[in-house]
Structure 1
């Protein structure tokens, strides 16, 4: 059975780059969200046991998504993928419940150790 994942980023190019960085043989069902409210809706619908989340999106930032999920008893595995690599941004994302932080542009080399460490990919 495929693992449902959500890729939340307002950039179509960033969504494509991240999709290509995922292991080819990883059995996942990908759903895309182009903004924070859509990402939250997918999370609430149970479609996001794993979410790749950008921090900088219009309307609702990734930080705001994490805050909302935290108030709703965060029960998803969030990997933040962002160009904002400032230490404060990373610390804040992790404090809000993200399990990992990967800088853009994301590569499979950066993702694989995280996916393996947490048992998401063998």
Structure 2
């Protein structure tokens, strides 16, 4: 459900191919296969959580944009993901008004 809401929040004219991962292991595998220029990452996932994904990506010389989308609004969570290489933290529930400024700021959409 959360992934569907996120996809609906993406700019309608954004020319992208969307791939979904059900857990942290799938997200890391997609990244390693070069299938991720932008990752929208939840912190709570089965198996490797979002923090673990970020730690792995950072250890492997992170070369994509990671935007954390989470309901965890604790300042420590935000600080930790930013230190691990995320470019932004967007609070759930996500919508276009929250997402589009982040995508524009980093030149992901124009």
Q: Provide the TM-score with structure 2 as the length reference.
A: 0.98
SS in 1 for 2:69: strand
Segments of structure 2 that go 5 or more residues without pairing to the other structure are none
Deviating 4+ runs (over 2 angstroms): none
Aligned equivalents of 1:115, 1:70: Cα separation in 2:
21
User: What residue number does 1:48 align with?
Assistant: 36
1:80 aligns with 2:68: yes
Question: Map of 1:30-45 to 2, 5 A cutoff?
Answer: 30-45=18-33
Number of residue-to-residue matches in the alignment = 110
Q: Which has the higher contact order (CA 8 A, sep 6+)?
A: 2
User: What residue number does 1:6 align with?
Assistant: none
SS in 1 for 2:68: strand
Question: Map of 1:1-122 to 2, 5 A cutoff?
Answer: 13-122=1-110
User: CA-to-partner distance for each residue in 1:81-114, whole Å, 9 max, x for gaps?
Assistant: 0011110000000000000000000010001111
Q: Provide the TM-score with structure 1 as the length reference.
A: 0.89
Q: Greater strand percent: which structure?
A: 1
CA RMSD of superposed structures (Å): 0.5
User: What residue number does 1:3 align with?
Assistant: none
